[in-house]
Amino acid sequence: MNYWTELSIQYANQKSYLDDLFHVYPTIPEGIREINQDSWDRIETAFKKKNNDTLIRELMKHNLFPIKDSYVAYFKRDKSAIERNPKTINRLCGRLYEMGLDAIYARCSEPKETNRQIGPFFRRWLNSKSLGVQPLTLKEFKKNKKDAILNGSDAQLMSFAASELNYTHSKGLDFIGRFNGKYVIGEAKFLTDFGGHQNAQFNDAISTVQAKDVKAITIAILDGVLYIKGNNKMYKDITTKYSELNIMSSLVFREFLYQI
């Protein structure tokens, strides 16, 4: 097994893994979503007057629609469909009237789900100089060959990787660094559970590590449930099928970079 994967498994099972990981992914739920008061006044009026058309149109303006229904996304993308499908609108509004205004407000103002907030945290952790070097702009990164981390937009990282490192894979990158004269690229993921979207995230990171003919060391900086020993697919994959790939926790990542 890859030494850094093994070290990550040991860390997750023998040390204060989650306590330490909180420094990288401080997943603090955000406050409630702000609701525009003018819009809410129109919602209240439409609700009390049972004006289905206005009620739906105003609620569509908010990031979070108060009920989960497979037809809502269609209306959000095509507002003209509201007029053409009165029965569906009546059905949706019936559920809204049943909920009541207080429940609608509470649902529309719910905080974002934690797992949708964690994406930027890894970059913030890098920018706090956690790896011992200050991330540099693209211009500064290109100036010399010293140890450095590239701090740029997703597009800048992809462009540099494609032009300088022959990275032609379609998946974006969360890390480009240069240590001891060698380039390192990779994706970072916090896998909070098994199945569904989390499996897809895992597979995305693996596909980055397996990218061919890249002029850099490819890595997957993965944290979360994949290091739980057992029969779960992720654990079995990193200890068998992908056991030779550079898969590691962010908590051992610094040591990996400085031993290159």
How does pLDDT run along the chain (260 residues), one tens digit per residue?
999 999 999 999 988 999 999 999 987 666 667 889 999 999 999 999 999 999 999 999 998 999 999 899 899 888 899 999 999 999 999 999 999 999 999 999 887 665 555 668 999 999 999 999 989 999 999 998 899 999 999 999 999 999 999 999 888 899 999 999 999 999 999 998 888 888 999 999 999 999 999 999 999 999 999 999 989 999 999 999 999 999 999 999 999 999 99
Residue 192 confidence (pLDDT): 84
Residue 21 confidence (pLDDT): 93
- Residue with structure tokens 């603090």? 28
Residue 198 confidence (pLDDT): 86
Helices 52-60 and 37-49 pack at an angle, to 10 degrees, of 150
Closest alpha carbon to 21 in 249, 255, 199? 249
- Whole-angstrom distance, CA of residue 154 vs CA of residue 71: 32
Residue 144 confidence (pLDDT): 87
- Name the token pair of 255: 């040591």
Residue 242 confidence (pLDDT): 97
User: Position 214: which residue type?
Assistant: V
- Name the token pair of 258: 């400085």
Residue 115 confidence (pLDDT): 52
- Name the token pair of 148: 């450095």
Looking at the DSSP bridge assignments, the partners of residue 182 are 179
Residue ranges of domains in the chain:
3-27+115-258, 37-108
- Whole-angstrom distance, CA of residue 61 vs CA of residue 48: 19
DSSP code, position 113? P
Residues in Cβ contact with 66 at an 8 Å cutoff, skipping those fewer than 6 apart: 59, 96, 99, 103, 104, 107, 108
